[in-house]
């Protein structure tokens, strides 16, 4: 497909896009804007929330990020405690900005984090619209691409959440827009901007290196074809890779020195059969969370129309051929193809994660698929009169109605009252004030026994400590020897697990409870033989 080279800005269409994005985004997300992270992937979201509050505690030391947990997942798998809560993690600039906003507003409530992510989403979606507009040069087609992105269930769920993939996606989209501007106009400042944005996205979320490499690979092909030059780009690329490798080296230092709560290793399948099983599990779990069923139907129809349009154009071109061969620019269809190949390699390398981590899709396949969608729309005839425009507007409205209805239902379905993380968040609600009332200092170390997920209870208690989410004997036994001041356990967890773990729970001496959680000390011997005895009123 050939991009038409003109700089005229469709200001009215862009304004409509801004209103559309903000109205639709707030409409979908408003009721969840102060929701504590729970439900699907509360674990990962709590960890990111804790990074933000950690910057408040460490004096905004960007290069020593920390959460609330002393015993790290890696390398000791929770059974090894450190002297500090510092952790290795991808460049946490997103959480750092959230911490600054928390300081500004004087609160660590979830709405601060959620509003910042929502704003990042708005910016990213506007640039998705602008990137699509460069390809299609049509407002309504570009709005359709944007609407599909906004109503993809997996994107909608994290739209205003705590994971860095959403702001990284936004920055990556800005990079894609800048590169398309460079491709169309030839202004080198846009190339430098594109690489800068993709570098930042990669620092925040390593998987966005796929986009950076795909764009550089495409540009290298253009250089070989003498459509572009080499020397003027080399310094920018060198700086980009230098920053990425420098932070990787620093992160490796943090990991070796302090451990990490965050994965930093490949997770491939052991063999082809395992890969097939993991792939099928991911498909079964998330196929209609990546996109709606309605989206897939739109893709199928559009792909058919794009093929027909391509055949018609080829026939017309052959019929009008005058025998003069002209050199054509390398088609930008290659960008999503190269990008998708990189995503496929990432899928192979990390397949064990895909069945349980839907947000990996946003980090990888989401952007090139949206670009392919825009390219297919660009093959269709342009709207040239008000009647056709009105018809397309009505069609767009109908499509949006069904997409919004479906994603609203998906948002509800992703939240259920019996979710363990949700129950834990309710149990620990107001726990900071409860512990304050017991004169337990903010620097006291708490052992949160059998609480899921790891950082959530500590965020709500506004204290640090040790997490024991699992009943594994080696982890529990190690935890009971650590330097904690108090043990906190949810009352329902105590009751439900007493008979199975009497050897541990029977040693807890209850100091106080608020009806949801109990504050305890640890005895050397069994002091309670039943939950009834444990919860008996102190005389």
Q: In this predicted model, what pLDDT tens digit does every residue of 125-142 receive, in sequence order?
A: 999 999 999 999 888 899
Q: Give the chain's domain count.
A: 2
Instruction: Please indicate, yes or no, whether residues 407 and 513 belong to a single structural domain of this protein.
Output: no
Distances (CA, A) of 259 to 88, 95, 256, 492: 7, 19, 6, 32
> Which residue, of 393, 413, 433, is where some domain finishes?
413
Instruction: Please indicate, yes or no, whether residues 239 and 382 belong to a single structural domain of this protein.
Output: yes
Weakest-pLDDT range from 106-120, 155-169, 390-404: 390-404
Instruction: Please indicate, yes or no, whether residues 338 and 458 belong to a single structural domain of this protein.
Output: no
pTM: predicted TM-score of the whole model, two decimal places: 0.93
> pLDDT tens digits for 92-125?
999 999 999 999 999 999 999 999 999 999 999 9
Q: Does the pLDDT at position 250 exceed 80?
A: yes
Q: CB neighbours of 204 closer than 8 A, spacing ≥ 6?
A: 90, 91, 92, 93, 94, 164, 167, 168, 171
Instruction: Please indicate, yes or no, whether residues 354 and 247 belong to a single structural domain of this protein.
Output: yes
Query: What rounded mean pLDDT belongs to the chain?
Result: 91
Instruction: Please indicate, yes or no, whether residues 73 and 151 belong to a single structural domain of this protein.
Output: yes
- Whole-angstrom distance, CA of residue 454 vs CA of residue 48: 11
By the 8 A CB rule, do 203 and 164 touch? no
Task: Report residue 414: phi and psi, to 5°.
Answer: -80, 0
Instruction: Please indicate, yes or no, whether residues 379 and 480 belong to a single structural domain of this protein.
Output: no
Report, as an integer, the average pLDDT of 428-439. Answer: 96
By the 8 A CB rule, do 126 and 18 touch? yes
Q: Does the pLDDT at position 157 exceed 70?
A: yes
Residue carrying structure tokens 């996606």: 169
Asked if the bond preceding 260 is cis, omega within 30° of 0, the reply is no
Q: Does the pLDDT at position 85 exceed 90?
A: yes
Whether 2 is in a domain gets the answer no
- Whole-angstrom distance, CA of residue 402 vs CA of residue 404: 6
Instruction: Please indicate, yes or no, whether residues 339 and 453 belong to a single structural domain of this protein.
Output: no
- Whole-angstrom distance, CA of residue 139 vs CA of residue 463: 50
> pLDDT tens digits for 4-40?
444 454 678 889 899 999 999 999 999 999 999 999 9
Q: Which residues form the domain of 530?
A: 421-534
Instruction: Please indicate, yes or no, whether residues 244 and 177 belong to a single structural domain of this protein.
Output: yes
pLDDT confidence tier of residue 428, bands split at 50, 70 and 90: very high
With the C-alpha atoms ordered 71, 75, 80, 84, is the resulting torsion angle positive or negative?
A: negative
3 state SS for 207-232? HHHHHHHHHHHHHHHHHHCCCCCCCC
Return the SS3 of 520: strand
């Amino acid at each position: 497909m050939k991009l038409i080279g003109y700089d005229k800005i469709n200001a009215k269409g862009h304004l409509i896009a801004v209103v559309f994005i903000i109205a639709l985004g707030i409409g979908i997300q408003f009721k969840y804007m102060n929701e504590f992270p729970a439900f699907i992937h509360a674990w990962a979201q709590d960890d990111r929330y804790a990074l933000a509050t950690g910057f408040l505690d460490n004096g905004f030391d960007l290069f020593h990020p920390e959460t609330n947990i002393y015993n790290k997942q890696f390398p000791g798998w929770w059974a090894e405690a450190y002297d500090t809560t510092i952790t290795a993690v991808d460049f946490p600039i997103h959480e750092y900005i959230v911490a600054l906003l928390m300081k500004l507003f004087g609160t660590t409530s979830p709405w601060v984090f959620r509003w910042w992510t929502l704003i990042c989403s708005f910016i990213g979606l506007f640039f998705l619209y602008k990137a699509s507009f460069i390809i299609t040069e049509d407002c309504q087609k570009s709005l359709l691409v944007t609407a599909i992105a906004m109503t993809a269930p997996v994107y909608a769920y994290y739209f205003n959440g705590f994971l860095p993939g959403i702001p990284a996606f936004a920055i990556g989209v800005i990079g894609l827009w800048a590169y398309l501007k460079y491709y169309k106009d030839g202004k080198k400042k846009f190339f430098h901007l594109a690489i800068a944005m993709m570098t930042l996205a990669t620092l925040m979320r390593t998987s966005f290196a796929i986009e950076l490499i795909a764009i550089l690979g495409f540009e290298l092909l253009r250089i070989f074809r003498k459509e572009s030059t080499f020397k003027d780009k080399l310094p920018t690329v060198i700086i980009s890779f230098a920053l990425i490798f420098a932070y990787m080296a620093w992160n490796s230092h943090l990991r070796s020195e302090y451990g990490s709560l965050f994965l930093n290793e490949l997770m491939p399948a052991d063999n082809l059969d395992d890969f097939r099983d993991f792939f099928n599990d991911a498909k079964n779990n998330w196929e209609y969370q990546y996109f709606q069923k309605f989206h897939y139907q739109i893709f199928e129809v559009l792909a058919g129309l794009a093929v027909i349009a391509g055949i018609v154009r080829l026939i017309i071109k052959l019929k009008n051929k005058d025998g003069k061969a002209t050199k054509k620019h390398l088609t930008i269809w290659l960008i999503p193809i190269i990008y998708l190949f990189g995503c496929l390699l990432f899928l192979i390398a990390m397949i064990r994660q895909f069945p349980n981590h839907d947000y990996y899709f946003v980090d990888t396949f989401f952007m090139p698929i949206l670009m392919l969608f825009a390219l297919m729309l660009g093959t269709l005839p342009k709207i040239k009169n008000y009647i056709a425009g009105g018809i397309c507007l009505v069609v767009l409205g109908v499509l949006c109605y069904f997409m919004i209805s479906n994603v609203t239902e998906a948002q509800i379905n992703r939240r259920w009252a019996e979710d363990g993380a949700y129950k834990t968040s309710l149990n620990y609600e107001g726990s900071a004030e409860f512990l304050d009332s017991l004169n337990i200092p903010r620097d006291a170390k708490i052992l949160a026994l059998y609480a899921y997920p790891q950082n959530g209870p500590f965020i709500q208690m506004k204290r640090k400590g040790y997490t024991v989410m699992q009943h594994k004997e080696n982890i529990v036994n190690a935890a009971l020897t650590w330097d904690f001041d108090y043990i906190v356990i949810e009352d329902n967890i105590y009751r439900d697990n007493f008979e199975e773990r009497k050897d541990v729970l029977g040693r807890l001496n209850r100091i106080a409870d608020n009806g949801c959680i109990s504050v305890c000390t640890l005895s050397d011997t069994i002091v309670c033989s039943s939950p009834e005895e444990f919860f008996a009123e102190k005389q």
